[in-house]
Structure 1
Amino acid sequence: MNRAPRAAVMGVLLLSPIALTACSAGQVTQTSTQEPNAGNQADLGDVRLRALSLPYPTGGQYASGSDARLVGAIASTSSDEDTLVSIEGEAFDSVEVIDPDAAEPAADAGGSGDLGITVPPNGIVYLSSGQGPTVALVGLTEDIGPGEAIDVTFTFEEAGEITLPVPVGVPTRDLPRGEEFDFHGEEEVSGEEGSVEESSGQEAREQESADSEG
């Protein structure tokens, strides 16, 4: 990437972190009026962490013992490269990294080993987006869901260490709703039942009058 496009991308990332989670427009949905969860962000020297979150889990909750992908971006404004050496936290047992660009697959880092994720000078690393390394927090120690967050510590070789809460994301599509109750249908049924009862009463009175005349 040459200097001009790279500067443009960096500007978008630093000024608008929610760009990573923006969804398409053009139709009104149930979630269109809700505030999207753009993840958390922090600055550490020349390193910028942006839109960090755990994707909305299937079923609405991460169960204790399950794994969760760490989504977000790490940008550098330095002219020198840096390396993310570890990701740690009490809310998970270990970290696993799959880096398609690495010479050989990274092993389970146990939450404290050398992850070896390179942050290029004046560049960006996207986590678990299909454009860079996939990072999984393995063995969550408790149930967590939307509205909750876990503390995660990031350690860089040059920039140092920082801890920040990483939230669980919200749904990016409408969730299925239950079948709506048809109040008009209920009224129609009630009206029909009332008409039947009224008709039956009229027939009974006419029969009773005929019997008395006879």
Structure 2
Amino acid sequence: MASAALGLGAVVALGGCSAGQVTETDTQVAAVSGGNGTVKEIAVRDAQMTFPEHGSLYRAGSSAPLKLVLSNDGAVDDRLVQVSSTYAANAEIAGTTDLPAGTALHADGAQQESGHATTQHEPTSSNAPTASNAPTAQPSAQGGPSDQREIRITLNGLTQDITPGVTIPVTFVFEKAGSVTVQVPIGPDHKPRPEHGTPHGSGH
């Protein structure tokens, strides 16, 4: 407990000592724990929405890509067939959806290119996500680094503004294991802080 308290204090201190100068701490970000969940032998790990490219929140109607790892720790092959959220009109899946035993799928949180994804529409009364058509997503044209298996998942048509510190429920449906709902936050901001872009005391 003591070491944890000291670690928190160190993070707070770093935020206060960089005023007026550009230092290494300007690109350091506070840790944000992604959502986790399991259903049978399938695990959803560190699920989070990528920090918005513009501004500090996702506006209603916008799209939010997910960063996460899907892991099959069992002995039975499976497949991701649907993603949904009561806070999004639909979800898009691109890349590999098959999840053989002992493998993992990685979503890097990058924006999807239109026309290369499977769109899963939610009912107009989107209070509760329900399974609809779940066509097989086509494999991505470009593979990931080395043998890492890639998938891209994007929540489209957010129903309200989503700000850092808020989590939304996202449901993942697997062909054999079933469904699991995970609370997903916005991830950390990796962009340099603009308010520190003009150091005082340098360049004179």
TM-score range, shorter chain: 0.5 to 0.7
Which of 65, 69, 73 is the aligned partner of 1:73? 69
Q: 1:31 to 1:181 in 2, by over 3 A?
A: closer
Rounded to whole Å, the distance in 2 between the matches of 1:143 and 1:81 is 37
- Residues 48 and 76 of structure 1 are in contact (CA less than 8 Å); yes or no, is this contact kept in structure 2? yes
Which runs of 5 or more residues in structure 1 are unaligned?
A: 1-26, 119-125, 183-214
Which residue is 1:20 aligned to? none
Which of 165, 175, 196 is the aligned partner of 1:147? 165
Which of 69, 92, 108 is the aligned partner of 1:96? 92
Which aligned runs of 4 or more in structure 1 are off by greater than 6 angstroms? none
- Residues 30 and 188 of structure 2 are in contact (CA less than 8 Å); yes or no, is this contact kept in structure 1? no
Q: 1:30 to 1:105 in 2, by over 3 A?
A: closer
Which runs of 5 or more residues in structure 2 are unaligned?
A: 1-22, 99-114, 123-131, 139-143
Q: 1:175 to 1:66 in 2, by over 3 A?
A: same
- Residues 92 and 139 of structure 1 are in contact (CA less than 8 Å); yes or no, is this contact kept in structure 2? yes
Q: What whole-Å deviation, never above 9, does each CA across 1:131-176 have from its counterpart, x for those lacking one?
A: 5122111100001121111111111121111112110112123311
Pair 1:161 & 2:161 matched? no
SS of the aligned residue for 1:109 comes to: strand
Rounded to whole Å, the distance in 1 between the matches of 2:83 and 2:60 is 19
Bigger Rg, which one: 1
Which residue is 1:38 aligned to? 33
Rounded to whole Å, the distance in 2 between the matches of 1:83 and 1:131 is 13
Which residue is 1:60 aligned to? 56
Pairwise CA distance, 1:116: 3.7
**Higher normalized contact order (CA 8 Å, seq sep 6+, divided by chain length):** 2
The share of aligned pairs that are identical, in percent, is 26
Pairwise CA distance, 1:30: 3.6
Rounded to whole Å, the distance in 2 between the matches of 1:76 and 1:155 is 13
**TM-score, reference length from structure 1:** 0.58
Pairwise CA distance, 1:38: 3.3
Q: 1:107 to 1:65 in 2, by over 3 A?
A: same
Query: Higher strand fraction: Structure 1 or Structure 2?
Result: 2
Query: Higher helix fraction: Structure 1 or Structure 2?
Result: 1
Q: How many residues align?
A: 144
